[in-house]
Amino acid sequence: MPSSTSAALADGINGLARRLPAWPIYLLACLPPAWLLWQGLTGGLGVDPVKEMEHRMGLWGLQVLIASLCITPLRTFARINLVRYRRALGLVAFFYIFLHLLIWLVLDVQIPAQIWADIVKRPYITIGMGAFLAMVPLAITSNNLSIRRMGAAAWRRLHKLAYFAVLAGSIHFLMLVKGWQIEPMIYFGIVCALLGARLRPHHLGRISGGTATRRQG
Whether 88 is in a domain gets the answer yes
- What is this structure's pTM? 0.88
Average pLDDT over residues 81-88: 95
Q: Quick one: what percent of the chain has pLDDT higher than 70?
A: 90
pLDDT at residue 175 in the model: 92
* Structural domain containing residue 194: 2-204
Whether 145 is in a domain gets the answer yes
Domain count, the chain: 1
Whether 209 is in a domain gets the answer no
pLDDT tens digits, 89-138: 999 999 999 999 999 999 898 888 888 888 889 999 999 999 999 999 99
pLDDT at residue 11 in the model: 87
Whether 16 is in a domain gets the answer yes
Round the average pLDDT of the chain to a whole number and report it: 88
User: How far from 213 is each of 81, 187, 203, 210, CA to CA, in Å?
Assistant: 32, 39, 16, 5
Q: What is the Cα–Cα distance from 65 to 93, expressed in whole angstroms?
A: 5
Burial 164-195 (b: 16+ CB within 10 A, else e): ebbbbbbbbbbbbeeeeeeebeebbebbeebb
Whether 144 is in a domain gets the answer yes
pLDDT for residue 189 is more than 90: yes
3-state helix, strand, coil in the chain (%, to 5): 85, 0, 15
Whether 81 is in a domain gets the answer yes
Whether 118 is in a domain gets the answer yes
- Residue 2: pLDDT band (50, 70, 90) is low
